[in-house]
Amino acid sequence: MTTEPLLVVNELSTPSVWPASAVSAPGGDLSVAGVSLLELAERYGTPTYVLDEGEVRSRARAWVRALPEAEIVYAAKAFLCRAVVDWMEEEGLGLDVCSAGELELAATRGFPAERIVLHGNAKSPQDLGTALRLGVGRIVIDSGCEIARLAARVPAHDAQQVMVRVLPGIGAGAHPKIRTGAEGQKFGLSIANGDAEEAVARIQGQPQLELAGLHCHLGSQISSPEPYERAVRELVSFLVRVRDRFGVVLPELDLGGGFAAAYLPGDAAPAPAVYARRIRRALTGACAEADLPLPRLTVEPGRSIMAPAGIALYRVLAVKRSGGRVFVAVDGGMSDNPRPALYGARYTVRRVGRASAAPMRAATVVGRHCEAGDVLADGVELPEDVRPGDVLAVPASGAYQVSMASGYNMTGRPPVVAVADGRSRLLVRRETFDDQRRRDVGL
């Protein structure tokens, strides 16, 4: 079978939203890592999520190359399974986790605990207990009340490394619900009102806690390095205040993640080297001006590694015309991808596995759930002859979809399939009705 590079899938699709291994194939099909998407839909059913292992690894390596002097920590909340834990360990990345469940999953694969960072604005006793039991590298303090609570759990004559998550007063990100660096929201401790400095003082008074540095996270889908440059300047300024008041030079600075991925052709998604160059320059300049040694830098990419490597496959169940619009209903929806409903996220869509000379027409791809807001992609171009049974592929689906999937309408969460070197393998099986039934113990 002859293939050709996926230069243009349709007028809405370019290489920036598909894995680098994607190639057009005869019959209207698409191959990723040498595997036919239509064959994957037939073998594993739909909805199914496909993850290009080579793309994940390549993007992880790009961050390591861009910042070889820094610690690159994968934001596991984007998507985590046992295989992803292994890939990150093999590529030399750390893990940023937010729960005891993510910690335990990492532990089942023997991931080095010292390379794990625990986050969370409201860590449960189980979260903290699991982190201490496993010996995670750093715990990020997100509120003042965590300080004594954590210190009381650390064994005598031992010390846990912590960082303080500060609010630099910088709002950045593609949607208000994912902007987390500004004042007036649930994350972090404000530099402006003195809460961050008070937290540093309290940690200094706890011998069971060792303050390693500062952490911030500005938001998600940040498509410019400029907010990170501003954050660097704010954090270095605060490091100076900590030095002058407490006589301590903190050795680490964690800028979090939020680096953008392209969901639509033309979306800005700078390469890791672009962010790295600007961040490094800002940090070097700010520290030189403040007469501070350069702190060890940490960044936490998640979406930018995982989103471009994933493709969601759906099968069309119905096509309907109403109010001058064409609605293409598929067998998934907001239960496996809540992002459009939550954030107004937008995607492009391609039909795979059936060639057609029909003209392209605007359509709205909707899910199967009992919600008017269950829209997966609005105003996308699909062939006019799209019909039930067709398979649709949605690129840039690797992050914050399966990880946020729900049990709504008891449809069952989809499987995740890895592709590499012309082969596929199941990473996460489909959730069945029996799985759901076993949780219902109310008889």
Residue range 100-114, pLDDT digits in tens: 999 999 999 999 999
- How many other C-beta atoms are found inside a 10 Å radius of the C-beta of residue 101? 13
- Please check the confidence at residue 15 and state whether its pLDDT lies above 60: no
- Please check the confidence at residue 10 and state whether its pLDDT lies above 90: no
Output the pLDDT for position 156.
86
- Please check the confidence at residue 191 and state whether its pLDDT lies above 70: yes
Ligand-binding annotation for 137, yes or no, is: no
The alpha carbons of the chain give a radius of gyration, in whole angstroms, of: 23
- Please check the confidence at residue 338 and state whether its pLDDT lies above 80: yes
Catalytic residue, chosen from 98, 145, 216, 370, is 370
Strands 391-395 and 423-428: unpaired
Residue 287 bears catalytic tag: no
Residue range 214-272, pLDDT digits in tens: 999 998 899 999 999 999 999 999 999 999 999 999 999 999 999 999 999 989 899 99
Short-list 243, 401, 373, 246, CA closest to 312? 401
Distance (Å) of CA 373 to CA 192, 335, 366, 394, 406: 39, 12, 9, 18, 15
Domains of the chain: 4-52+308-438 (2.40.37.10), 54-306 (3.20.20.10)
Residue range 55-80, pLDDT digits in tens: 999 999 999 999 999 999 999 999 99
Of the listed ranges 6-10, 12-16, 260-264, 382-386, the one predicted with least confidence? 6-10
The two tokens of residue 152 are: 């009381």
Using CA atoms, how far apart are residues 72 and 92, in angstroms rounded to an integer? 8
- How many other C-beta atoms are found inside a 10 Å radius of the C-beta of residue 147? 21
What mean pLDDT is reported for the chain? 92
Using CA atoms, how far apart are residues 295 and 155, in angstroms rounded to an integer? 28
Whether the bond between 47 and the residue before it is cis, its omega within 30 degrees of 0, is yes
Short-list 122, 97, 128, CA closest to 112? 97
Ligand-binding annotation for 381, yes or no, is: no
Using CA atoms, how far apart are residues 153 and 230, in angstroms rounded to an integer? 36
User: Taking a C-beta distance cutoff of 8 angstroms, is the pair 240, 290 a contact?
Assistant: yes
The two tokens of residue 225 are: 């390095």
Short-list 307, 267, 258, 262, CA closest to 51? 307
Residues 6+ apart with CB under 8 A from 392: 313, 314, 315, 316, 328, 330, 349, 350, 351, 352, 365, 382
- The band of 176, judged by pLDDT with boundaries at 50, 70 and 90, is low
**Chain-centre distance for alpha carbon 197:** 30
Using CA atoms, how far apart are residues 154 and 201, in angstroms rounded to an integer? 19
Ligand-binding annotation for 422, yes or no, is: no
Ligand-binding annotation for 407, yes or no, is: no
User: Taking a C-beta distance cutoff of 8 angstroms, is the pair 121, 167 a contact?
Assistant: no
User: Taking a C-beta distance cutoff of 8 angstroms, is the pair 392, 330 a contact?
Assistant: yes
Ligand-binding annotation for 233, yes or no, is: no
- Please check the confidence at residue 173 and state whether its pLDDT lies above 70: no
Ligand-binding annotation for 184, yes or no, is: no
Residue range 342-385, pLDDT digits in tens: 989 999 999 999 999 999 999 999 999 999 999 999 999 999 99
Ligand-binding annotation for 333, yes or no, is: no
404 by Cβ neighbours in 10 Å (0-12 / 13-18 / 19+) ranks as: middle
Q: Is 372 helix (H, G, I), strand (E, B) or coil?
A: coil
Please report where in the chains the tokens 């969460």 appear, as a residue.
413
Ligand-binding annotation for 415, yes or no, is: no
396 versus 185: which is more confidently predicted? Answer: 396
